[in-house]
Amino acid sequence: MRRHDRKGLLPGRVIATTRDFCTLLTGEDEPVAARIPGRLHHLKRRVGGLLPVVGDWVVFKPAGASRSAVVEEVLPRQTCLSRQAPGRRGRLVEQVIAANVDTVFVITGLDQDFNPRRIERYLALVTGSGARAVVLLNKADLCSDPEPYRLQVESFGCPVVILSAEQGTGLDALSPFMTTGDTIAMLGSSGVGKSTLINRLLGEERQQVATVSESDGKGRHTTTHRELLRLPGGVLLMDNPGMRELQLWKETASLEEAFEDIFVLARDCRFSDCRHLEEPDCSVKQAVADGRLAEERFQSFLKLQQELVRHGGH
């Protein structure tokens, strides 16, 4: 931060954004509203520069007597969750929806919502972003024997926590994944219990978090929905509408991580570029035939592989 110190700049963390303003957490008690200058929009268009998204660290010039604070620069991202969104001429473009998330809770319900294929897709997305994934099996109160579900998800190679957000049971098992200073986010389809869990985690503070009123430095006040919430214990929780619409973005590495077992088997295929379709001596298909690899898992791998090809991955 030395270089920035000299110019009188300060660091801040983005907790909400609009097109022209972002709300920053700084060392101070009150969040700061900082303007996103046209220069950054220009750099984004011309050379793919960074525009602030929730979770970004930025340096900004503090407000002066007659002007608001201004974002100077977005700092490089440690992790980056993105989705595909329709861009100009119907092309899909990458849209970053959250930066610097350390851990993503992939939530699913132990009721009719349970869908291992969907969990795999979420896991592929999270590992591709650079964040760590933990699967939360919620609504344990509705399931007489959650253990088989746990085993199935653990076989995907990620930690699993069984809990009931509504009843408040099993939440202690989350603490190893919520270290002070961490930023966590939640992914999961509608109705799995994300809001219920967020309220649980917020505990007493939940009343205060809905909206905040902030000054933009010119005496105007804007009400922003804060998308990065401070939990008791110094953990930041991202509650971002975009998170709810995430789709898989091309990310070959993530496929490899999400289906490590298949990539290990594929080393014994006769062809190094085997797609495990019609090729002879395919050890992946052999494993399916022998029952060493679940047919369903193989199918979901193929489906994901196809999507990546369609979206321009390799």
Ligand X SMILES: Nc1nc2c(ncn2[C@@H]2O[C@H](COP(=O)(O)OP(=O)(O)OP(=O)(O)O)[C@@H](O)[C@H]2O)c(=O)[nH]1
> Any bridge partners for residue 21, and if so which?
35
Instruction: Decide: is 64 part of the binding site for ligand X (CB under 6 A).
Output: no
Residue 158 binding: pick among Zn ion, ligand X, none (C-beta 5-8 Å cut-off by kind):
none
Q: Which is nearer to Zn ion, 206 or 270 (CB)?
A: 270
- Work out which of 139, 250, 276, 297 binds ligand X, going by CB under 6 A: 139
* 143 has binding-site annotation: no
In the complex, the smallest distance separating the C-beta of residue 264 from Zn ion, rounded to whole angstroms, is 12
Site for ligand X in 199-258 (CB under 6 A): 244
Q: Which stretch binds ligand X (CB under 6 A): 47-55, 138-146, 268-276, 295-303?
A: 138-146
Q: Tell me if 48 is assigned to a ligand binding site.
A: no
- Number of chain residues interacting with Zn ion (CB under 5 A): 5
Tokens of 71: 């974002």
> Does the protein bind Zn ion through residue 282 (CB under 5 A)?
yes
Site map 140..159 versus ligand X, x via CB under 6 A: -xx-----------------
Contacting Zn ion (CB under 5 A), which of 10, 262, 284, 288? Answer: 284
Task: Identify what 64 binds: Zn ion, ligand X, none; CB under 5 to 8 Å per kind.
Answer: none
Q: Which listed residue (69, 269, 287, 288) binds Zn ion by CB under 5 A?
A: 269
190 is in an annotated binding site: yes
Told to check if 274 binds Zn ion by CB under 5 A, we report yes
- Could you tell me whether strands 235-238 and 183-187 are parallel, antiparallel, or unpaired per DSSP bridges? parallel
Can you read off the two tokens belonging to residue 174? 């989350």
Cβ-based nearer residue to Zn ion, 229 or 266: 266
Look at strands 69-74 and 103-109 and give their pairing. Answer: unpaired
Residue 141 annotated as part of some ligand binding site:
yes
Kindly determine how many residues on this chain lie close enough to bind ligand X according to the rule CB under 6 A: 16
Of the ranges 95-103, 134-142, 145-153, 270-278, which one interacts with ligand X (CB under 6 A)? 134-142
Q: Which of residues 158-197 bind ligand X (CB under 6 A)?
A: 164-166, 188, 190-196
Report the 3 state secondary structure along the chain. CHHHHHCCCEEEEEEEECCCEEEEECCCCCCEEEECCHHHHHHHHHHCCCCCCCCCEEEEECCCCCCCEEEEEECCCCCEEEEEEECHHHCEEEEEEEECCCEEEEEEECCCCCCHHHHHHHHHHHHHHCCEEEEEEECHHHCCCCHHHHHHHHCCCCCEEECECCCCECHHHHHHHCCCCCEEEEECCCCCCHHHHHHHHHHHHHHHHCCEEEECCCCCEEEECCCEEEECCCEEEECCHHHHHCCCCCCHHHHHHHCHHHHHHHCCCCCCCCCCCCCCCCHHHHHHHHCCCCHHHHHHHHHHHHHHHHCCCC
Q: What's the rounded Cα separation, in Å, for the pair 187 and 193?
A: 10
Q: Which is closer to Zn ion, CB of 42 or CB of 303?
A: 303
Compare residues 243 and 262 and give the one whose CB is closer to ligand X. Answer: 243
> Residue with the closest Cβ to ligand X?
193
Among Zn ion, ligand X, none, residue 166 binds (CB under 5-8 Å by kind): ligand X
Contact status, residue 126 vs residue 82, Cβ threshold 8 Å: no
- Could you list the beta-strand ranges (E) of 163-277: 183-187, 212-215, 221-224, 228-231, 235-238
Q: Which residues are annotated as a binding site for GTP?
A: 138-141, 188-196
Chain positions contacting ligand X, by CB under 6 A: 138-139, 141-142, 164-166, 188, 190-196, 244
Q: Which residues are annotated as a binding site for Zn(2+)?
A: 269, 274, 276, 282
Chain positions contacting Zn ion, by CB under 5 A: 269, 274, 276, 282, 284
